[in-house]
Structure 1
Amino acid sequence: MYLAMIGNIKNAKAINQHERQKAHSLLSNSLRYINKKYPNRIVAQFTLTIGDEFQGLLKSGTNLFEIMDTISLTMKTIGVDLYFGIGVGTIITPINPRFSAGIDGPAYWNARTALEELKTNDDYGMNAVRFNYKQHPDEALINETIALGEYMKFKWTQSQLDLLAGTIEMGAYHDSFRQVDLAETMHLQPKALHKRVSLSGIKLYLRSRIEIERKMTALMGNSL
């Protein structure tokens, strides 16, 4: 069992050619960064595929949301938003660890279904992630929990999004991060950081993300 991700640039057709090329270049750089940072989590490296899509194959749910948030925050610096479809299943083709394009099977079929469902209903533009594994009774619960986190993040200010980027930068994508360390990373006074943390609900966001990763990994039959 594998976890497949298919990503897509949101509203790509509305972006002019110059800005689209810029987006592709930044996205390609971001995917290379992900491949270097998480080699032990990745089965087949993240690559751009056709049009405005990219995909990758993971061993489990571990670090899934950290990976997606890293890519999303990078693209948001140029005003580009993304969709992510996540699927669990088997792979029926040979796996090339260095190039995920061309790999196929139920894991990617489920990810494709999730992506298409998301494009049809993204909760008024507030949801960017959907999971598909219809053989499992917890699929709906996982998706609703994902959607609640996406709603939280959609409402965040830039300074609150910077908190999320800060946890990623210092390798603390979890709810038990040390606020004093995050304040130092972000060059903030501890009191100012505490206010941002409490108003954003970022610890709740991170805690729910980690629990979803554990649930996905458990239903795959893999261990963290």
Structure 2
Amino acid sequence: MSEDTDDRQFVALIGDIRGSRELDDRSGVQEEFEQVVASLSDRVSSDSIASQFTVTTGDEFQVLLTDVTDAIDAAVAASDRFHPVGLRFGIGTGTLDTAINPDQTIGMDGPCFHRARDAIKAAQKEGAWIRVAGWSPAVDDHVNTMVDLVQCVREDWTDRQAQFARALSEEDTQTAVADRYDVAKSTVSESIDAGHVQEVRAVERSLGTVLRCSSDGETP
């Protein structure tokens, strides 16, 4: 193990495009995917990024982080921007066996990456949005179950609901969202309520909190 990593715990996030081989405009979707991945570093604290967001193939990216809440935030932000094309994610925690390359994750290896890879394989097998691995079995199961509930709601969002949900995370107020799209505030409010957007956001925030507290040995 590298002297740079010792026994430090990291969080590896792997994301890819669901059903990419069946897409009509695969090259165009991959180009958009690269743009979305490039934007994620602005969503995450620079202190948390141990190794930068890296597109490893046209359909997949990896990043190494120190804070699991940032992994959840990145997965949510990428999914918001990539609607209606679906993404899936594997999140794994653990140590690192290789030296840290701050510029890209290619060539890095260790339990955190192995667990993230196992998690995304599980997501693919189960048709899931996110799978996590490496915390306790009870915590992993709890978070994965909550993810499935959120996924059920998110996948029913209309394009307009997804658009407003993303805008609300950027603008903070429904009035600002209404102004952005030149619609009545009631239109935004009704869409947000029908899509249970506020409830989805609350659960998404709690996922990172549960995982971080479990890592720190605290009670959420």
Return the letter of the residue paired with 1:22.
G
Residue 136 (structure 1) shift: 4.2
Deviation at 1:149, TM superposition (A): 0.5
Q: Which position in structure 2 is the counterpart of 1:157?
A: 158
- Given the alignment of the two structures, is residue 52 of structure 1 paired with residue 59 of structure 2, yes or no? yes
Contact 2:43 2:73 in 1 (8 A): no
Which residue of 27, 30, 46 corresponds with 2:36? 30
What pairs up with 1:50-129 in 2 under 5 angstroms?
Answer: 50=57, 52-76=59-83, 80-122=85-127, 127-129=128-130
Instruction: Work out whether residues 14 and 90 of structure 2, in 8 Å CA contact, stay in contact via their aligned partners in 1.
Output: yes
Seen in structure 2, the aligned counterparts of structure 1 residues 158 and 44 have a Cα distance that, compared at 3 Å, is same
Structure 2, unpaired ranges of 5+: 1-8
CA distance in 2 between counterparts of 1:107 and 1:195 reads 42
Return the letter of the residue paired with 2:168. Answer: T
Does residue 11 (structure 1) correspond to residue 45 (structure 2)? The answer is no
Deviation of 1:135 after TM superposition, in Å, equals 3.4
- Give the secondary-structure state (helix, strand or coil) at the position aligned to 1:155: coil
Cα distance in structure 1, aligned partners of 2:169 and 2:23 = 28
Could you state the TM-score of these two structures normalised by the residue count of structure 2? 0.85
Deviates more, 1:41-50 or 1:31-40: 31-40
- Aligned Cα RMSD in Å? 2.2
Report the residue type matching 1:90 in the other structure: T
Can you give the 5+ residue segments of structure 1 that lack an aligned partner in the other structure? 173-177
Q: How far off is 1:15 after superposition?
A: 3.5
Q: 1: CA distance between counterparts of 2:41 and 2:217? A: 21
**Normalised TM-score (structure 1):** 0.83
